[in-house]
Structure 1
Amino acid sequence: MSEVKKMVAEQRNYSVLTTDDAKQIVINYIQKTELSNYEIEFGLPEINDRYDIWKVPLLYMKETIGDIVINAYSKEVDEKLSSKISVIRNRILSIQAKSSEKTKTRKKRSKEFIISNLDNMVIKGRAEVALKTLPDQSIDLIFTSPPYYNARKQYSEYESYDDYLLLIRKVIRECRRVLIDGKFFVINVSHVLVPRSSRNESSTRIAVPFDIHQIFMEEGFEFIDDIIWQKPEGAGWASGRGRRFAADRNPMQYKAVPVTEYVLVYRKKPCILIDHFIRNNPNPEIIKASKIEDDYEKTNVWYISPARDKRHPAIFPAELAEKVIKYYSFVNDVVLDPFGGIGTTAKAAKKLGRRFCTIEVCDEYIQYTLQELEVNLIDMFSERKIVYKDLSDKNDDEDFKSFEHLVHRLIHEGYSKDELYDALLKGINNIKNK
């Protein structure tokens, strides 16, 4: 008969031989501490024969909260190598707090099913200001493509890239407020090429999608998908990127011709289960009418040709908007585009039986949008009228007939009463000091 191979603990004559021995030592240790008040469980104890110790993981509500380390010879807990009791306790309290919040959220979810009562809306104004006029949790889906950043001053209104990102953050923050919990924010963004100023300089490519992703993470969204919008190969040559290498073929001059953009998909936290929106909808016909046909996109690479329109220099194709709206909203939902342009998202929403809210600062683009949407405007579930709001800045003296009118307009544009009060005091003090 072959001799039975001894375990490491037996070979080294450890005093702690088995996992049960290790757990019992930890149980006895915990009972003498403030951790005895909590229902702590154990992970799988492991031997580290290099240091002659046992390591016993501690779990609370299935989450790891620390380790207790035991000297395999003396059976004593090594407090220097073990997690501190105070740290373990704080982790337990943190888990309890998160669990309590989740319980409250689940109870709230089970009771509430929010149906927005917004009408179709075309709003003229800056996105970060106009969004303040919309009620909390009144939007079912946001799909937009923000303005491109370009550092050349003759083509850009932004003093710096940081100013551009600050604008995006303000818009994302307001969008989170108006978006219903658990619903989607889909954004079309791409890297931006800043051309060189002279032959002695290099062009710069800015990774805009990665910076915007970080803002979404910081503003209370959960990342869901990165969809790649791929254009035909010839579409990328318009950027001029790659032409030098194509001509000379020298190493280090290689630059890939861009033929893709990102369609980044986020959900507003708390990320309520999708089943909540399906099972609790009071109108089963809406769920049925929202079913997606067989020829849907099965991967995260979407092959869509770019669109062109003489009225706008940078539109995205209606096909892209329609796919996003079909995949991430239900019939009769409200779809918001805070950078509306000539209304591509709004028109796609209308076509698919959704309501729309589009915001745009350019009066010319607003007029194009109104002209197209006012023609045969029919909603699937109600005869809704377009509500047009003009929140743009005006220099018309009629607008400032009274101080009261001015204050009312500023509050409507999103300024708080405290901000107006501070500005008023500052103005009065300036007059006194003259």
Structure 2
Amino acid sequence: MKPADIAPPAPTDADPTRAADASPFRDAVLVHVVRQYKPSVGGLEDFVASLVARQRGRFRRIRIITCDRLFRGDGSKLAKREIIDGAEVVRLPYIGSTRYPICTGVLSELADADLVHVHAIDFFFDALAFTRRLHRKPLVATTHGGFFHSPDYRLLKRIWFRSITKAAARRYGALACCSESDYARFARIAPDKVRLIENGVDIEKFAGAGSPAPAKSLITIGRLAHNKRVDLLLDTMARLVASDPDWRLSIVGTPFDWSRDDIAAMVADRGLAGNVDLHVGPSDAEMRDLLGKASLFVSASRHEGFGIALIEAMSAGLSSVVEGNDAFAAFAQKHSGITLCDYGDPDSTAEAIRAAFAVIETDPQAARDTAIAQAQAYSWAATALRYEALYREVLGR
């Protein structure tokens, strides 16, 4: 089945989402519901914050409902209400797993909502669907990879997806699938609800930041989570360094399943202390500096909801050597400069990295220009307009 893409209206300027007087939602209250938000750091949080930044001023009010504790924090409660970047943030107590946080106070915060946008497939997705007759609010959701980020509990996940998730999806006006793999999966249970709206990426933040000259330097970006498989990436790095000690790797991320000390121990165990650096939560300026030393983005991630880090690396002018998961494979089908490999085989992956670097050495400017040009398709301005088109469809505006 070919994905049904939501096409944005023809733009009238560089970023038409800034023109509040042209918005059909000037009188509407939009509520985003997401399990974690600022000050939490991660792909889900960044996505919602970036979307809200483009929606601010185009709605009468924007509210973000989220949980009141950081899943990877010290357990202390955050402020119940706060204004962040011009949007109201409401934080509610929860119980249960961080993957399925049960938060019973959400309905009381929807009284004035004209549209509710749910992010990810979790308790909020299910609860708001099955209480639809109580709150009577139009619902849309973004899939963000569903709950298939790891192979854990695979059979249970399949049963839940084909029963609970399928029943809940019927109560939504539309499901925005942020990747073609998500579209294919959710089309099996809600074919009339799915729309393809690939994630927006801030392609200006690191535009052209990559090394202009070929450099035997790799960079990986993402949470230090088990599914990112940093251990396998380090195995590959060990093979590279064994034959050429000039290779270097920058690991950029925030502690999650693994701590800073865990990563340091892995690096030391492989004798890579002089070739691998770990950077926890660098600023954008520091990130530009790190990208400026690199020619290749690498990732051993087993699963990606979309792959924002890959697009950010492309916007910087980097080529990529990445695990052949569904999300990365979809990008590789559309864009050159992306090499797929199996990080479970460190010898062949090391050879793939050497081959990708040889291509860069042949014509570094062409490799940079190609990656930067391909990243333009994922600009946030176009993505925000696609969401407005989806909202108009659901609300009948």
The TM-score with structure 1 as length reference comes to 0.24
The TM-score with structure 2 as length reference comes to 0.26
